[in-house]
Structure 1
Amino acid sequence: MKFLGNVLAVIVGLLVFSVLSFFILAGIIAIASSSDSEVKIKENTVLVLNLDGRNIVERTSDDDFNISSIPGFSAVSNVGLLNLKKAIKTAAENENVKGIYLKAGMVFAGQAMLQELREELITFKESGKFIVSYSEIYSESGYFLSSAADEIYLNPLGGMEFNGFSSEIVFFKGLFEKLEVEPVIFRVGEFKSAVEPFLLDKMSDENRLQTSVFLNDLNDFAITKISESRGLPYERVQEINSQMLVRKNADALELKMVDGLWYEDQVKELLREKLGIEEDDDINSINITTINKSAKSKNTLSKNKIAVIIAQGDIVSGTGEGVIASESFVKEVNKAKKDENVKAIVVRVNSPGGSALASEVMWRALSEAKKVKPVIASMGEYAASGGYYISAPADTIVAQPNTITGSIGIFGLWFNAEGFMKNKLGLTTDVVKTGEFSDFLSFSRKLSDLEKSIYQSNVEEGYDTFISRVSEGRNMSKEEVLNVASGRVWSGIQAKENGLVDVLGNLEDAIEIAAKKVGVEDDYRIVYLPQEKSFFERLMADLTNDVQTRYMHYKLGSFYPVYSEIERIKKYEGLMLRMPYDIIVE
């Protein structure tokens, strides 16, 4: 039987290898053939932005490869914000492109990213070209983006969500009580509520206050933009939103939130009318990847470079994938600092924070780079806690009105698992030590009062350092920083009012500020760091990461957030600078 098992294992291994080899080869051929061919856009072409079910991230490769394109895999497909904006700009400038067909009813992205993309769509309309939006279902985020279109159509039997924002937290207090695990928390700041899920079974009053304030700010901003685009009074849109007056599709049409309840074939007939072609004629369409291949880079011969360093994810020490790893980040900063042709650095921050030590290491690198050339921070979806820490040394901080930022605070987390080990697993421990604190922070016993005081002292010292970094970078007194700190989260609008942000704008605004500071407004090119991975590296990363994540989603269903949070807890080492929790605005 063992021999037979080995034979079967070999056969399965060969089969998997053969399938992977086939798709890798197919990918290489596809990329090679597409890169060699010159893209020519036909007359009367429509750019199709199909974002339904796609996740918008800061950047993806130019070929837009994703594991979801391989048959048999169903991972959520990512699309880069930079690629999307480039495609829309190219479409606006190409006379053969007459308009955009937008399908973004169920797009996955944060409010600040959607706003940045929405701004690009509105700029596109200024070229005199049309945007038509259609979806079977509009989520709140999808409708916010789609409201930039000239006309919005909804499937007659589809659906539309327009009922305001909410943010829900999973609390672990009851779980730890059942497991007999005691979380021990060290923190500074009444609003530093990243640890609340481990201590409470509901939000504290402080956390509820800050969440309510910035959620209302984000919601009011969205309502304002929708009312402007739809030509409806703000008060009316607010009423529709707060009372969820769109309860069936007919309501959306009656309330003028959409222009028609149509099927997609009807929408395509409308596109033919706008293009001036016959009913049976095919619509010339082009996608994001293809139109970007037709784009001509500007100032490619310029020696002057603006380096844009992408910093997206949790902040951790060392190296790693899908995170802002201090060692990798410092390497990119130093590369830009030493390159004489790089005239200024823009750091694109999209992070809820993470390790205090890693944040300090990155702060140091940017502070040193600032002595050599201008450093501008561009905040994306969120730049909170550690994300704000690494933004603090910048000459200018740029954020979107609906960016989530601030959270200037610090915490430490430790677990006493003595009860779990003894009563649940039947395990006991004993120790021999050479000093009083040789087993400092052992998870198999309670901490003494002296040990707690030592750790708390470190937390308070870390908080003082954080305040000093912000005070120095923002030219504010410590007292002024303390007034807006305490771990409180702010919207971009509030952060600007509080002096934590200089300019409300997007990445392009930050780049323009950087170019102006060094006097190269009309003569520079942009380089993005770190460099994109090769096809093979991305394929392997997609196979291991996206598929695993999708599988866990499938296996755990609604319990996936709990699993995800526990996995994150395992990474908490040392002092942490992090947002209260993963803020998902729905």
Structure 2
Amino acid sequence: MLRRWLVVLMALSLLPTVVLAEDDDDDAGNAPSDRTEQKQSDKSKGGKPEDKSKDDDKKAKSKDGDDAKTEAERSKANPIKKLIELKLDPFVVPSRGLNIPSFGRVREVRDILERFERWAKDEEVGALLLNLDGLALSIPDIEEIRAALLEFKKDGKKVLAYLNNGEPNGYLLACVADEIALAPTGDLAIPGLGRVFPYMRGFYQMRGIEYDVITAGRFKYPGFMNAREPNDAFKMEFEEILDSWFGDYVQMIADGRKLDPQKVRNSIDVALMTAEEAKSRGLVDHIAYYDEYRDRVLRRLKFRKSDGETDFSNITSLQDIANVINKRFREAQESYKAVGPKIAILHARGPIVDFDLGGSLSSQLIMREPFVRTIEEIRKNKTIKAVVLRIDSPGGSGYASDVIWRKLRELDEEKPIIVSMGSVAGSGGYYIACPGRLIFAEPTTITGSIGVLAILANQASMLNRMDVNIATMQRGKRALFGAGVRDMHPDDRAFLQKFILDFYEVFLDRVSVARRMPKDEVRKVAEGRIYTGRQALKIGLVDRLGGLKDAIAAAREMASIPASSEIRLVHYPRPSGLGELFGDLLGGVSTPAQAMTVFNTPIPSLSFDMQLRIFAHRPQPLCWLPLPDARELMLPMGPRETLAEMLGLPPVTPALLPMLQP
């Protein structure tokens, strides 16, 4: 009896397993009755029930295989989309400063744009979550990124934005997103646009320096070095520029948030608001902490989280760094060696100078001879069918600008050049744009400044204070012209004025031919006056509003490259070699931590004061747009060693914050 009960209990213990297995089958509910009917059928035939165990096993395996195949096909047809997370912070810069492939924490705008384009083509990517935290880019750079995000959204992909603290630049970019979230204790700051200009005559006089400035063009020089307040011409032109910038600023927010422009202006007048107030005004959609918001998005969209970005925490030696950089170089060089049509992106960034500081700084200065060699390299490359000249420069040396202009004109005779203007392409920056067949500018780009000036520093007062007596000897009337140790003679001033006016006429001729405008018409819009991209379009100084992507599309069309053909973009100047990199930059570095500090430190822009020292050391025609910001004089320099100090360069100040310099 006991044995019989044990058999029953064992049978009952097996039942749940059988039921669960049957539940996994699509026809589980009908299985028992099917088996009963099968037994009755066997009995009615007078035969023994057939042993179906082997057949059932085969069918089960076959069905499992079919189910797995169906599931795989269903997964392939409707894959779970990825949510890409991307942090945009102060380490996103217009240019890295180091002429090497992307490495470390610092990323160029062009790296970000290339990622967007790659993710837009990736069918597994369904959405992009921007983690905005202290973005410090100019408004033209933000316009470029906004355009790329709009392109990303065309195929139904989502863009989401998270603001840790709603600083103006990050918010301007966030407005292109489908929704915006803000940290609960964060704030939103949209104070509008302003600019602080230093008039430094007194400052330089305290140092014992007087600047003589000779100009060609009524608007060319507002007196930053030798005046105490702006002149009427500068007030007029910059008021109009601020009006143009502000109109674009308001419209970008209004369009992105679907708000009336007047409501946006009202919020700008409030300037700083809590998360709750920002939400009540329709400026943000959600209030949450970052991980909380991200997890909500993943659940709501039924997406999966993507893999993180490259982690460099496993770097333990300088050899590890060399290995990573070597890998980056190999990847970069593939673009240059690949067959098929190519479009060259020629980057012209920084002041235009006559001297050569070496390749390691070629992405921060437009150095005449190295830049000319780069143009020649592009011209000789038969696989390059068109060139996009990307300019972000206030100009500088008039002579260097003209030499570069000539080489670009020769290049354009063989390969079409399309110009794309970044934050600023003024004076010499506009001069070198003239050979382009089409000129693109962002609405907030600073351009124009078609004029010439010369600046000479007179340090006689400083030497006198230091009780330094100067004795001079000379042969020739102007042997000590520009020596900087005495006041300029009226004859010398008149001579230099004529010299500058002659160069101004050459500049006007270059623009007249390039823009197909009568010289008198060019003269009316020149005079050294600066314009926004939108203003420049109205007066014929640029052809279209748009960014780098638009210029690339135009270059493709101009070179008659079929839409079906795949093109490669190759960037110039080429990345520096490892020998040059470690020789020039890492000579004093002995640990991986020091090396990573170098790679993770954005090289700042040359300060106004540094540019002034470069251009005022001798009498020369300058196609330079001098536009300083007062905060350059107020930014503290910390005790830490900067990359500039590693290179033995004079002190430089960080790039200007774009909320005050669009």
- With the shorter chain as reference, the TM-score category is 0.7 to 0.9
Q: Structure 1 residue 93 and structure 2 residue 121: aligned?
A: yes
Per the TM alignment, residue 123 of structure 1 is displaced from its structure 2 partner at its CA by 1.6
CA distance in 1, matches of 2:214, 2:336: 52
CA distance in 2, matches of 1:135, 1:568: 36
The answer on whether the counterparts of 2:210 and 2:226 sit within 8 Å (CA) in structure 1 is no
Q: Structure 1 residue 337 and structure 2 residue 375: aligned?
A: no
- For residues 403-459 of structure 1, the C-alpha deviation after alignment (integer angstroms, 9 at most, x for no partner) is 11111111111122112111x100011112122222112211111110111111111
The answer on whether the counterparts of 2:140 and 2:445 sit within 8 Å (CA) in structure 1 is yes
- For residues 113-167 of structure 1, the C-alpha deviation after alignment (integer angstroms, 9 at most, x for no partner) is 1101111112212222222211221221111111111111111222222021111
CA distance in 1, matches of 2:337, 2:80: 27
Structure 2 counterparts to residues 567-586 of structure 1, below 5 A: 567-572=610-615, 573=618, 574-582=620-628, 584=656, 585-586=658-659
The aligned residue for residue 212 of structure 1 is 239
SS at match of 2:137: coil
The aligned residue for residue 515 of structure 2 is 474
The answer on whether the counterparts of 1:406 and 1:487 sit within 8 Å (CA) in structure 2 is yes
Per the TM alignment, residue 368 of structure 1 is displaced from its structure 2 partner at its CA by 1.5
The aligned residue for residue 284 of structure 1 is 306
CA distance in 1, matches of 2:376, 2:337: 23
CA distance in 2, matches of 1:151, 1:519: 40
The aligned residue for residue 22 of structure 1 is none
Decide which of 145, 157, 170 is 1:117's aligned counterpart: 145
Q: Which amino acid aligns with 2:242?
A: L
CA distance in 1, matches of 2:112, 2:121: 14
SS at match of 1:571: helix
- For residues 6-61 of structure 1, the C-alpha deviation after alignment (integer angstroms, 9 at most, x for no partner) is xxxxxxxxxxxxxxxxxxxxxxxxxxxxxxxxxxxx95432222112223215788
The aligned residue for residue 193 of structure 2 is 165
Per the TM alignment, residue 227 of structure 1 is displaced from its structure 2 partner at its CA by 1.1
The answer on whether the counterparts of 2:189 and 2:271 sit within 8 Å (CA) in structure 1 is no
The aligned residue for residue 166 of structure 2 is 138
SS at match of 1:247: strand
SS at match of 2:385: strand
Decide which of 349, 362, 365 is 1:312's aligned counterpart: 349
Q: Percent identity?
A: 27
Decide which of 538, 547, 571 is 1:528's aligned counterpart: 571
The aligned residue for residue 328 of structure 1 is 370
CA distance in 2, matches of 1:309, 1:299: 13
CA distance in 2, matches of 1:500, 1:356: 19
- For residues 372-407 of structure 1, the C-alpha deviation after alignment (integer angstroms, 9 at most, x for no partner) is 232211111111111000001211111111211111
Per the TM alignment, residue 489 of structure 1 is displaced from its structure 2 partner at its CA by 0.9
Per the TM alignment, residue 97 of structure 1 is displaced from its structure 2 partner at its CA by 1.7
Q: Which amino acid aligns with 1:314?
A: P
CA distance in 2, matches of 1:285, 1:387: 41
- The number of residues matched between the two structures is 517
Q: Which amino acid aligns with 1:126?
A: K
The answer on whether the counterparts of 1:63 and 1:289 sit within 8 Å (CA) in structure 2 is no
Per the TM alignment, residue 461 of structure 1 is displaced from its structure 2 partner at its CA by 1.1
Structure 2 counterparts to residues 249-260 of structure 1, below 5 A: 249-260=275-286
Decide which of 458, 475, 479 is 1:438's aligned counterpart: 479
The aligned residue for residue 50 of structure 1 is 87
Q: Structure 1 residue 449 and structure 2 residue 490: aligned?
A: yes
CA distance in 2, matches of 1:380, 1:528: 16
SS at match of 2:270: coil
Q: Structure 1 residue 515 and structure 2 residue 556: aligned?
A: yes
Structure 2 counterparts to residues 220-299 of structure 1, below 5 A: 220-241=247-268, 243-244=269-270, 246-276=272-302, 283-287=305-309
- For residues 519-544 of structure 1, the C-alpha deviation after alignment (integer angstroms, 9 at most, x for no partner) is 11323332221112245655676669
Decide which of 401, 416, 427 is 2:443's aligned counterpart: 401
Per the TM alignment, residue 318 of structure 1 is displaced from its structure 2 partner at its CA by 3.5
Q: Which amino acid aligns with 1:252?
A: A
The answer on whether the counterparts of 1:105 and 1:143 sit within 8 Å (CA) in structure 2 is no
SS at match of 1:465: helix
The answer on whether the counterparts of 1:352 and 1:578 sit within 8 Å (CA) in structure 2 is yes
- For residues 226-276 of structure 1, the C-alpha deviation after alignment (integer angstroms, 9 at most, x for no partner) is 2111111122112322x1254333221111111122212321222321342
CA distance in 1, matches of 2:99, 2:208: 47
CA distance in 2, matches of 1:514, 1:350: 19
CA distance in 1, matches of 2:419, 2:503: 23
Per the TM alignment, residue 64 of structure 1 is displaced from its structure 2 partner at its CA by 2.5
SS at match of 1:106: coil
CA distance in 1, matches of 2:175, 2:233: 34
The aligned residue for residue 34 of structure 1 is none
The answer on whether the counterparts of 2:335 and 2:569 sit within 8 Å (CA) in structure 1 is no
Per the TM alignment, residue 566 of structure 1 is displaced from its structure 2 partner at its CA by 2.5
User: Which deviates more, 536-545 or 396-405?
Assistant: 536-545
CA distance in 2, matches of 1:537, 1:128: 45
Decide which of 51, 58, 64 is 2:102's aligned counterpart: 64
The aligned residue for residue 413 of structure 2 is 371
The answer on whether the counterparts of 1:83 and 1:288 sit within 8 Å (CA) in structure 2 is no
Per the TM alignment, residue 222 of structure 1 is displaced from its structure 2 partner at its CA by 2.2
CA distance in 1, matches of 2:375, 2:520: 31
SS at match of 2:183: strand
TM-score normalised by length of structure 1: 0.82
Q: Which amino acid aligns with 1:568?
A: Q
In the superposition, relative to structure 1, how do residues 235 and 298 fare at CA in structure 2: closer, same or farther (>3 Å)? farther
The answer on whether the counterparts of 2:159 and 2:179 sit within 8 Å (CA) in structure 1 is yes
- For residues 78-120 of structure 1, the C-alpha deviation after alignment (integer angstroms, 9 at most, x for no partner) is x222211111122122122221110224111111111011111
The answer on whether the counterparts of 1:62 and 1:83 sit within 8 Å (CA) in structure 2 is no
The aligned residue for residue 44 of structure 2 is none
Structure 2 counterparts to residues 417-432 of structure 1, below 5 A: 417-422=459-464, 424-432=465-473
In the superposition, relative to structure 1, how do residues 175 and 62 fare at CA in structure 2: closer, same or farther (>3 Å)? closer
Q: Which amino acid aligns with 2:237?
A: Q
The answer on whether the counterparts of 1:62 and 1:289 sit within 8 Å (CA) in structure 2 is no
User: Which deviates more, 461-470 or 297-306?
Assistant: 297-306
In the superposition, relative to structure 1, how do residues 252 and 246 fare at CA in structure 2: closer, same or farther (>3 Å)? farther
CA distance in 2, matches of 1:391, 1:115: 20
Q: Which amino acid aligns with 1:197?
A: F
TM-score normalised by length of structure 2: 0.73
Segments of structure 1 that go 5 or more residues without pairing to the other structure are 1-41, 70-76, 555-559
Q: Which amino acid aligns with 1:85?
A: L
The answer on whether the counterparts of 1:102 and 1:134 sit within 8 Å (CA) in structure 2 is yes
- For residues 201-229 of structure 1, the C-alpha deviation after alignment (integer angstroms, 9 at most, x for no partner) is 22222212222212221221122122111
Q: Which amino acid aligns with 2:343?
A: I
CA distance in 2, matches of 1:178, 1:87: 50
Q: Which amino acid aligns with 1:256?
A: G
Q: Structure 1 residue 463 and structure 2 residue 504: aligned?
A: yes
- For residues 327-346 of structure 1, the C-alpha deviation after alignment (integer angstroms, 9 at most, x for no partner) is 11111111222223222222
CA distance in 1, matches of 2:347, 2:415: 18
CA distance in 2, matches of 1:580, 1:357: 17
CA distance in 1, matches of 2:443, 2:588: 32
CA distance in 1, matches of 2:206, 2:456: 18
CA distance in 1, matches of 2:215, 2:434: 21
Q: Structure 1 residue 385 and structure 2 residue 427: aligned?
A: yes
Segments of structure 2 that go 5 or more residues without pairing to the other structure are 1-78, 313-326, 630-655
CA distance in 2, matches of 1:333, 1:341: 14
Q: Which amino acid aligns with 1:276?
A: K
The answer on whether the counterparts of 2:209 and 2:460 sit within 8 Å (CA) in structure 1 is yes
